[in-house]
């Protein structure tokens, strides 16, 4: 403890950040080990050609719902986070399939704006992928294995670290 007291304040802050991000990364890694679905993520694709184009690429899969207030608050942060994605990494936005006017409006507005495609997942798919909270972000390697699983809001630094580490798994 004597060494800790002698360290400058700046180094203590650096160590705190390293400890924090290491701990969250460890939690995300061990949570992902519990996610081993029998249904591949390519089942969400609208065409076989689209599903084939996903194979072999690392993927970030973002599960959300229209009724989720945290998802709505996270939307601008997520857009900023996507700028950190490496070129070869694909981003898949997966909306909980629900029969509501809000979902229809969201899908209609996003298709008009020309944004990224949004895929819908039914209860069976969500259960298979162990989605129990929104938003949930899964980081998959090129083989489709879940490497990191996070629920809630991810910081840009945490998002970048996870997407960067995908190439090594």
| 2-30: b (≥16 Cβ within 10 Å) or e | eeeeeeeeeeeeeeeeeeeeeebbeebbe
Contact 81, 159 (CB under 8 A): yes
Q: How far apart are CA 109 and CA 105, in angstroms?
A: 6
pTM, to two decimals: 0.85
Secondary structure letter of residue 38 according to DSSP = S
pLDDT at 120: 86
The per-residue DSSP string of 130-164 comes to: T--SSSEEEEE-TTS-EEEEEESPPPHHHHHHHHH
Characterize 67-95 residue by residue with b for buried, 16 or more Cβ atoms within 10 angstroms of its Cβ, and e for exposed.
Answer: ebeebeebeeebeebbeebeeebebbbbb
Check residue 111 and give its pLDDT: 53
Alpha carbons 107 and 156: distance in angstroms, whole number: 26
**8 A C-beta contact, residue 149 and residue 136:** yes
pLDDT at 64 (0 to 100)? 93
Residues of the chain with confidence (pLDDT) below 50: none
3.40.30.10, 3.40.50.2300, 1.10.3720.10, 3.40.640.10: CATH of 2-168: 3.40.30.10
What distance lies between CA 35 and its chain's CA centroid? 13
Its sign, for the CA torsion 151, 155, 160, 165, is negative
pLDDT at residue number 150 = 94
């Amino acid at each position: 403890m004597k060494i800790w007291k002698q360290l400058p304040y700046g180094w203590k802050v650096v160590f705190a950040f390293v400890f924090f991000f290491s701990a969250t990364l460890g939690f995300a890694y061990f949570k992902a080990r519990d996610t081993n679905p029998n249904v591949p993520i390519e089942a969400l694709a609208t065409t076989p050609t689209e599903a084939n184009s996903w194979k072999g690429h690392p993927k970030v899969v973002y599960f959300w719902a229209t009724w989720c207030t945290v998802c709505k608050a996270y939307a601008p942060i997520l857009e900023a986070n996507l700028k950190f994605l490496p070129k070869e990494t694909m981003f898949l936005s997966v909306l909980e399939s629900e029969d509501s006017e809000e979902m229809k409006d969201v899908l209609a507005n996003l298709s008009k704006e020309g944004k990224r495609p949004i895929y819908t997942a039914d209860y069976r798919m969500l259960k298979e992928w162990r989605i129990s909270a929104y938003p949930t972000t899964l980081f998959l390697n090129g083989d489709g294995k879940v490497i990191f699983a996070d629920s809630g809001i991810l910081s840009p630094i945490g998002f970048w670290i996870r997407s960067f580490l995908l190439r090594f798994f």
